Amino acid sequence: MSFPRVALESTVLAHGLPHPHNHHLAHDLDSIVRDAGAIPITIGYINGVECIGLSDDEVSMMCVDPSVQKVSIRDIPRVVARGLHGATTVATTIRSASRAGINVMATGGIGGVHRDAQGQPSSDISADLRQLALSPMTVVCSGPKAILHLEATREHLESLGISVVGYKTDTMPAFYCENSPYAVDVRCDTPLEIADLTRARDAADLPQSILVVNPLPASMALSFERVQEVVTDALSSTAAQALKPAEVTPFLLNHVRQEIGDRALTANVELLKRNAALAAAIASELH
């Protein structure tokens, strides 16, 4: 008897959360997906080999080994050719899962259009968006990361033909923020409704992913206005004006962590768990 499968990224373990939070999260996500009747498939690269389903020991290594590379699409040739260990981003996880016949993935927040040092949309656009446009997956997340240029990211999703589906919400969340000023394309209140949209997408032979955005409840979420205030303050600092384009996003992430503290980590972990549970429910409906 076969079971539905849910793909999980490994970058959140290797580069997203500190130890031991990352190791605890890996165990919790595994249990959550299995309890919902699906099989968790954590994807990564071991000695340059793409692994569709890391072992427990390999997951543990991802959580503690500082040599593990962050693998986006552009990094695949280097990691494979040099036989490196690599943790997959949203984009590479989508690619690997789709090629392996897995049609549902859970993650935290997706990348999008980054801000420049003046807070405007930059030419730095995450590979996540392009890969969402190329792979017919159902990707469960909590929206784009809150430090991004959200208006430009929402417009880019629309331009690429990626349906943004709000789970029990009419507005797009922004990672650990419950909502944002931007609307979703369609609201669904059950995993079955999302599965029906997925089947309709497949029947129409569309190549894009369906992006399911699952907000944290208000009691756990961070204030959108507060996070945007922190980002604006960071960008107005003297230090921000001297940054190179590639340095802006790490600078903003660090500033948000410093200003908001443990609440950001707690919200991050909680949304990852909730997204895994929803993804497993959708996968079960599709199976």
Parallel, antiparallel, or unpaired for β 138-141 and 163-167? unpaired
Q: For the CA atoms of the chain, what is the radius of gyration?
A: 18
Q: What is the largest CA-CA distance in the chain?
A: 60
- Catalytic-labelled residue, pool 50, 70, 145, 193: 145
C-beta pairs of 242-245 under 8 Å, 24+ apart in sequence: 243/117, 245/114, 245/116, 245/117, 245/122, 245/123, 245/124
Catalytic residue check, 229: no
- Catalytic-labelled residue, pool 9, 50, 178, 285: 9
Q: Distances from the Cα of 58 to the Cαs of 45, 46, 61, 109, 188, in angstroms?
A: 10, 8, 5, 23, 36
Catalytic residue check, 244: no
- Give CA–CA dist 129/205, Å, rounded: 19
- Give CA–CA dist 107/179, Å, rounded: 17
Dihedral angle sign, alpha carbons of residues 143, 15, 30, 266: negative
Instruction: List residues with catalytic annotation.
Output: 9, 145
